[in-house]
Amino acid sequence: MRAGQATAQTGRPALIQAMIDAYRTPDLRGRIFFVLAMLVVFRLLAHVPVPGVDRSALGSLFQGGGNLLQFFDLFSGGGLRNLSIAALGVFPYITSSIVIQILVPVIPRLSAISKEGDAGRQRINQFTHWLTVPIAFFSGYGQLLLFSRSGVFNHPITFVGTGALETITIVISFVGGTMLLVWMGELITERGIGNGISIIIFGGIVSGLPQLLGQGFLARDNAGGLLLLAVIGLLLVFFIVVFNEAQRRIPVQYGRSVFRGGRMYRQTGATHLPLRVNSAGMIPLIFAFSIMVLPGTVAQFFANPSSTNFFARAALFVATTFSPASVWYWVVVFILVVIFTFFYTLIVFQQQQLAENLQKNGGFVPGIRPGVPTQQYLNRVILRITWGGALFLGAVAVMPFFFSRLTGVQALTLSSTSLLIMVSVALDTMRQLEAQLLMRNYEGFLK
């Protein structure tokens, strides 16, 4: 029985009926429970601390506000705040994936490997895993140095002499935790539903919602601001869904030859090529904030308001300019997000080689010659529609600044980046669950 027919008989909404259908299907139920089990393991890992940590000093460091630390803590699911073995989260793997994607069109050998089908994709994925290890190693050591300056550790951070064994142990724990999370994410992709890495990030963000809501209830003296914040949040979710699902459909026709009755006939079929308005996803936000938070955080260690030294005064200026309290900080963030959206979209679009694949399969855009003219036409279209995605992502990036000004709620900061990640992952998971339901003759979540 189809879900739509069951809805008419039971009076249940289609979404509720689709969830019931998914639960009643044994293999789908097993996949859902597997994802939930992996998320539970992830949350347990996020609370396994590394040795030699001064918990009070660590709490004071995060309460004082560290832009770089809070940014990385977003992707570790609170693991960095607890300095657990999962403190790096899957951020080194994300960085490695971005680097490999950028290098593929630049290095001829990698470009050739990427065109070898499934074997080439597996090889590229292997390179991504290899690059993740050194990135996680240096990221872990850099974070240890950052924490040691605030007195978080009871031993010196060094690879030689006193404290070397503790330092090596902690860094290896960080690397092992990252690779374990990457392995769990790939298991979710293979045996569960959705993209495993994205779901782990999603689980980490959701785990911080109770604390975020608790901070909001502490600001009861500003009920109007909280109400306005909730309304803005709902509107933001609506626009995120609209822009994530928006696409430009390019008409495509396929011609094929059919041999019938001793004669060759030419048949054609029409379809479309969907080009997303927001093809870059959340990657430009990661790029922009990674660049913006680093100079200000590093400059804070050298800034000294009472010093007359030029270097200390320059560090103070950088720390002030690259602070979220500065208007120029958000202006530069907006510009960087727009630039990185075009940069990343064009790189990924060129790797897809749509014009070449269309020509190989006998497809063509009506009115456009196959080959290079089709590629030029698609490039013009993707450039035009990317303006909408770029300006949207830039607006999402700077909304926290306007939220605090409009609502006056300082205890509760609505992270638009977190909302973008959660909504995007939720939509992607729903699409994959819908595909699973449609294969079993059920209606899915989406209409």
Query: According to the model, what pLDDT value does residue 305 have?
Result: 63
pLDDT of residue 7: 46
pLDDT at 181: 92
Tell me what pLDDT residue 14 has: 60
DSSP secondary structure, 239-307, as one string: HHHHHHH-EEEEEEEEEEEEEETTEEEEEEEEEEEEEES--STTHHHHHHHHHHHHHHHHHHTT--TT-
User: Global pTM?
Assistant: 0.76
Cα 446 from Cα 428, distance rounded (Å): 11
d(CA 309, CA 302): 11
CATH 1.10.3370.10 maps onto the chain at: 1-219+416-447, 222-410
pLDDT per 10-residue tile (average), the chain, 447 residues: 45 64 79 90 87 76 61 68 84 86 83 82 90 89 78 76 82 92 91 84 77 58 66 81 85 66 55 84 79 68 65 72 75 89 85 78 81 86 90 85 66 63 80 76 55
* Cβ neighbours around 439 below 10 Å, total: 9
Task: Give the pLDDT of residue 128.
Answer: 92
Q: How far apart are CA 289 and CA 136, in angstroms?
A: 19
Q: What was the pLDDT predicted at 179?
A: 93
Domain at 222-410: CATH code:
1.10.3370.10
**pLDDT score recorded for residue 156:** 73
Give me the pLDDT at residue 5, please: 47
Fold exhibited by the domain 1-219+416-447: Preprotein translocase SecY subunit (1.10.3370)
Q: What pLDDT shows up at residue 192?
A: 83
